[in-house]
Chain A
Amino acid sequence: MYQYNQVDHQVIKERVAQFRDQTQRFINGELPLAEYLPLRLQNGLYVQRHAPMLRVAIPYGLLNSAQVRKLAHIAREYDKGYAHISTRQNMQFNWPALEQVPDILEELAEVEMHAIQTSGNCIRNVTTDQFAGVAHDEVTDPRAVCEMLRQWSTFHPEFAFLPRKFKIAVSADAEDRAGVKVHDIGIKVRRDDGKIGYDIYVGGGLGRTPMIGSLIKEKLEGEFLLPYLEAILRIYNRYGRRDNKYKARIKILVKALTPEVFAERVQQEFEIIKDGDLHTSQEKLEYYESFFKLLVEPLTADTLSSVKATLEADKAADPAFANWVQRNVRPHKLDGYANVTLSLKCTDIPPGDVSDDQLDAIADLADEFSKGQIRTTHFQNMVLTDVQEDQLKALYSKLVPLKLATANTGYITDIICCPGGDFCALANAKSIPVAADIQQVFDDQDYIYDLGPLDLNISGCMNACGHHHVGHIGILGVDKKGEEFYQLSVGGSSKDNASIGKILGPSISREDIAGAVKKVIDVYVEQRHEGEDFLSTLERIGTAEMKERVYAKPAS
Chain B
Amino acid sequence: MPNQHLNGSTIENNQWSIAPEAAEQTTRLAEQTQLQVADASATSTLQTLETWATAAEKKNLLVSGDAEVADIEAAIGAAGQAPEVIFIDFPVFTDGRGYSLARLLKRAEWFNGKLAAIGDVLQDQVYFFWRCGFDVIVPRHDQNIENCQKALNSFSHVYQPAVNNPATKENKALEAEPA
Contacts and interface: CB of A to CB of B under 8 A. Distances in A.
Interface of A: 5, 7-8, 10-11, 14-15, 18, 22, 35, 38-39, 121, 151-163, 234, 237-238, 242, 272, 277-278, 283-284, 287-288
B176 A5 contact: yes
B156 A158 contact: no
Q: Which DSSP category, helix, strand, loop or mixed, fits chain A's interface?
A: helix
B130 to A, nearest CB: 8
Nearest to B101: A238
Contacts of B77: none
A237 B100 contact: yes
Interface string B31-58: 0000000000000000000000000000
Given A11-B156, A156-B159, A277-B167, 12 more contacts: A5-B176, A11-B157, A22-B124, A151-B173, A152-B159, A158-B99, A158-B100, A158-B132, A162-B96, A238-B100, A242-B95, A277-B161
B128 to A, nearest CB: 4
Interface in B81-107: 93-97, 99-101, 103, 107
Contacts of A159: 96, 99
A157 B128 contact: yes
Nearest to A37: B94
Nearest to B160: A152
Interface residues of B, number: 38
Interface of B: 66, 93-97, 99-101, 103, 107, 122, 124-125, 127-132, 154-162, 166-168, 172-177
A5 B157 CA distance: 12
Nearest to A273: B107
B103 A284 contact: no
A157 B127 CA distance: 8
A288 B173 contact: yes
17 contacts: A7-B176, A10-B157, A14-B154, A151-B172, A151-B173, A152-B159, A152-B160, A156-B160, A158-B99, A158-B132, A159-B99, A237-B100, A238-B100, A277-B167, A283-B177, A284-B177, A287-B173
Contact of A157 (B97, B122, B131): B131
B99 A35 contact: no
Contacts of A242: 95, 97
B159 A155 contact: yes
B88 to A, nearest CB: 13
Given A35-B93, A35-B122, A157-B127, A151 B176 contact: no
B96 A237 contact: yes
Contact of B93 (A157, A158, A161, A284): A161
A35 B124 contact: yes
Contact of B94 (A38, A151, A234): A38
